């Protein structure tokens, strides 16, 4: 049965598209719906030799209709960096919402609006920390954010800003395809494993 995951952030520049492509690769049997105005994932898909994941580029207002034509096990929707009616409709049509957070006070201020919208539509969701400096104490940072009581689970595996992501993107790859032994690949695999458990728990509750 297909499962749809919306990748969202009200702010641009949080690495949402890169995270989306790498999660789709980690999922193995997947489709990406690229609703971002920059269409960077469509360009990434053009550079790939593999047809999996397939990439479909459509405006956010057409994402829900596009979903009805897809029967892939995992569907990932890369939304624009905004929170308009079209993005909210995408979240409503999704089975799970992943809110991407690039840590900073302005980002924390901005994420509250996104989380409030997710609560209103009553969708299962989680927060993923992205683009951390590799020397950051991710565990302590995640604990400090949890203390802020954002109301949604935070993935214990943070994604750091590593050169592997850019190198893989240039080749039309995900970091888990380039090498499974790198820190970047292990972070993506860890995030994806955790997400699958969260999705399973949400569907059974």
Residue 129's pLDDT is what? 95
Residues in Cβ contact with 92 at an 8 Å cutoff, skipping those fewer than 6 apart:
121, 123
Angle in degrees, 0-180, between the axes of helices 40-47 and 16-27, rounded to the nearest 10:
40
Total domain count for the chain?
A: 1
- Biggest CA–CA distance in the chain, Å, is 44
Residue 132's pLDDT is what? 95
Domain at 64, CATH number: 3.40.50.300
Q: What pairing do the DSSP bridges indicate for beta strands 96-101 and 125-129?
A: parallel
Tell whether pTM > 0.85. Answer: yes
Closest CA to 166 of 67, 47, 11, 10: 47
Strand order from edge to edge, sheet including 74-78? 54-57, 30-34, 74-78, 3-8, 96-101, 125-129
Range of the domain at 92: 3-204
* pLDDT, tens digit only, all 205 positions of the chain: 899 999 999 988 899 999 999 999 999 999 999 998 889 999 999 999 999 999 999 999 999 999 999 999 999 999 999 999 999 999 999 999 999 999 877 788 888 899 999 999 999 999 999 999 999 998 888 888 876 778 899 999 999 999 999 999 999 999 999 888 999 999 999 999 999 999 999 988 7
Closest CA to 129 of 32, 41, 84, 194: 194
């Amino acid at each position: 049965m297909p499962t749809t995951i919306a990748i969202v952030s009200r702010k641009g520049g949080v690495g949402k598209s890169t995270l989306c492509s790498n999660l789709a690769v980690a999922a193995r049997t997947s489709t990406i719906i690229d609703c971002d105005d920059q269409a960077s994932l469509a360009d990434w898909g053009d550079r790939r030799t593999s047809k999996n994941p397939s990439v479909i580029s459509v405006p956010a207002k057409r994402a829900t209709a596009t979903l009805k034509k897809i029967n892939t096990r995992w569907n990932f929707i890369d939304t624009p960096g905004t929170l308009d009616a079209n993005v909210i409709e995408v979240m409503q049509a999704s089975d799970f919402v992943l809110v991407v957070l690039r840590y900073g006070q302005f980002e924390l201020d901005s994420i509250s609006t996104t989380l409030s919208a997710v609560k209103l539509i009553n969708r299962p969701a989680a927060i993923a920390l992205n683009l951390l400096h590799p020397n950051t104490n991710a565990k302590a940072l995640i604990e400090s954010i949890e203390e802020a009581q954002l109301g949604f689970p935070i993935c214990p595996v943070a994604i750091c800003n590593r050169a592997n992501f850019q190198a893989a993107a240039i080749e039309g790859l995900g970091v888990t395809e380039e090498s499974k032994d790198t820190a970047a690949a292990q972070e993506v695999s860890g995030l994806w494993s955790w997400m699958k458990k969260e999705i399973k728990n949400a569907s059974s509750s």
